Structure 1
Amino acid sequence: MVKEEIDSLAPGRDFSRRGFVQTAVGSGFAAAVLPVGAQAVSTDTQGLEAGPVSIAVGDFAMPAYRAQPAGKKNLPVILVASEIFGVHEHIADVCRRLAKQGYLAIAPELFARQGNAGAYTDIPKLISEVVSKAPDAQVNADLDATVAWAARQGGDTRKLAITGFCWGGRTTWSYAAHNPQLSAAVAWYGPVARSYFAGDATVIDRAARIQAPVLGLYGAADTGIPVDTLSQLEAALKAAGNTKCEFVVYPDTPHAFYADYRPSYRKAAADDAWARALAWFRRHGVA
């Protein structure tokens, strides 16, 4: 069980208020997060090419949600790694937000082989039956395939970044350790001292392999990610010679503070962190 995901959800669920279960990648909110808060942000598709796509990974067709400025080529590419809930409406909206900034943003459904993460209402069951069955090796290979797909669509993968939330935040760190060609990364409240798939190394254990500049965005009141684990990772990165990573820890701020559709949302921290993320990408040539 991942305590921070459970803590950041409201008790009880109302399937009639604002939320609806996803039926296609990027469509609707995951069942486990309903009801959706009234403050949920919705970004339009005006000026964008946006919607579900399919990415070939060998013989497997992996669903994904893509958004980019319409009619543009040679766009910098940002991979978006979802929370444990898969690529539902919030993650699709993050892609649209990035596309409005001039990026080809794409969120692959990294749990597609394991099951439909968006259909689960029970979080412990979702974690045991889906999330914990997705090893880093599979996830990283799927992200590699996503990068190759983006290049074929006219994306400039010489300007490549990744960002992700919770499970996707850890995936962001993991992919930074996997892909030395990554230009930059922004990890939102991703655990660094534990893994989800049994046998996978922690982010701290892989620190020496991380070459890219990674910005870590965390809440000091996150009950599942102790601040001292971030200090351990920072020390491990510096010991390995990587002085390009930075951490921002927001005081009195819980897990999932950027998730505007959930009770954990903290607007001031979310707005500040989003501005820092965009600046981080620009600073490291992903623009």
Structure 2
Amino acid sequence: MRGLHQFYKELALRFAEVGMQAVAIDYFGRTAGLTSRDDSFEYMPHVQQIQLPSFFADAKAAQDYLYSTPAGKKPTFPVGFCLGGTLSFLSGTQQDFGFAGVIGFYAGMKRNLNGEGTILDRAGQIKYPVLGLFGGADQGIPNDQVQSFEQKLEQSGVEHEIISYPGAPHSFFDRRATDYAEASTDAWNRVLRFISAHIQA
């Protein structure tokens, strides 16, 4: 929900530190301009203006940027949190990206962007392996929704790993990592293992 907050810039550096190229995109840039995304940023008006075709175009531009670096064309994975998790999974419904996998933390299951259906509606359209990480105590994403998402992926035959951390709230990784250090560490290690496994696949 926070857009290109400092946390996500630093997360891109964490990926770089383990040898992975990463780029963080600002999906509010089209409506908010190049303004600060600190904790005072009022994101909700911009959430309401997100258009999926524009988001997909921005994500494709980021992917093309990575492909243009000296490392060349390597397997790519979107990683998102909350709204970004929803967008990560929705991007997984698009064949053109050719992702090696899609990763989402506490993605809202009922968010219906542009009236094109929720993640639960479109889970069967995801074309790439899925890693989903959720807080078991997330009041905004009940466990039955997470279980329904997992069942729909199972039914469609999409490779997936869905993890729910008992007692962990929403944003346990990006806002409360110190309080939920064990869950956050495990989640980070799962992300790295998932990427490594699907780079080699």
Aligned to 1:74: none
Which residue does 2:174 correspond to in 1? 259
Q: Are the counterparts in 1 of residues 5 and 38 from structure 2 also a CA contact under 8 Å?
A: no
Distance 2:196 2:28 in 1: 30
User: Which of residues 37, 42, 64 in structure 2 aligns to 1:118?
Assistant: 37
Corresponding position of 2:105: 188
Distance 1:109 1:122, change over 3 A: closer
**Which of residues 46, 61, 77 in structure 2 aligns to 1:161?**
77
Contact 1:184/1:286 (<8 A) preserved: no
Q: 1:237 aligns with which of 153, 176, 187?
A: 153
Number of residue pairs matched by the alignment: 198
Partner residue in 2 for 1:200:
116
**Structure 1 runs, 4 residues or longer, greater than 4 Å off:** 262-265
In structure 1, runs of 5+ residues without a counterpart are 1-83
Describe the shift of the 1:163–1:105 C-alpha distance in structure 2 as closer, same or farther (beyond 3 A): same
> Share of identical aligned residues, percent?
28
For residue 263 of structure 1, report the CA deviation from its aligned partner.
Answer: 8.0
| Deviation readout 1:143-189 (Å, 9 max, x if unpaired) | 01111121112344341111111111111101111145110122111
CA pair 132-216 structure 1, distance change in 2 beyond 3 A: same
Return the alpha-carbon distance in structure 2 between the equivalents of residues 161 and 239 of structure 1: 23
Aligned partner of 1:177: which letter? T
Show the counterpart of 2:57: 141
SS of match in other structure, 2:29: coil
CA distance in 1 between partners of 2:4 and 2:109 (Å): 22
* SS in structure 1 of the partner of residue 73 of structure 2: strand
Any idea what SS the aligned residue of 2:23 has?
strand
* 1:122, distance to aligned residue in structure 2 (A): 6.9
1:86 touches 1:117 (CA, 8 Å); kept in 2? no
What is the RMSD of the two structures over their aligned residues, measured on CA atoms?
A: 2.1
Secondary structure at the residue paired with 2:133?
A: strand
Conserved? CA contact 2:92–2:99, under 8 Å = yes
Q: Secondary structure at the match of 2:102?
A: strand
**2:172 alignment partner AA:** F
Gaps of 5+ in 2: none
Q: Deviation of residue 121 (structure 1)?
A: 3.0
For 1:117 and 1:134, locate their aligned partners in 2 and report how far apart those are by CA, in whole Å.
18
1:31-110 aligned within 5 A: 84-110=1-27
Match of 2:185 in 1: 271
Instruction: Give the TM-score of the pair, scaled to structure 2.
Output: 0.90
The secondary structure found in structure 1 opposite 2:199 is coil
Aligned mates of 2:169, 2:27 — CA distance in 1: 25
- Indicate conservation of the 8 Å contact 1:161/1:286, yes or no: no
Task: Summarize the Cα distance change of 1:286–1:91 in structure 2 as closer, same or farther, 3 Å threshold.
Answer: farther
Decide which structure has greater strand share. Answer: 1
Partners of 2:72 and 2:98 in 1: how far apart? Answer: 12
User: Which structure has the highest helix share of the two?
Assistant: 2
Report the 3-state secondary structure (helix = DSSP H, G, I; strand = E; otherwise coil) of the residue aligned with 1:92: helix
Larger radius of gyration: 1
Which structure's relative contact order is higher, taking Cα pairs within 8 Å and 6+ residues apart?
Answer: 1
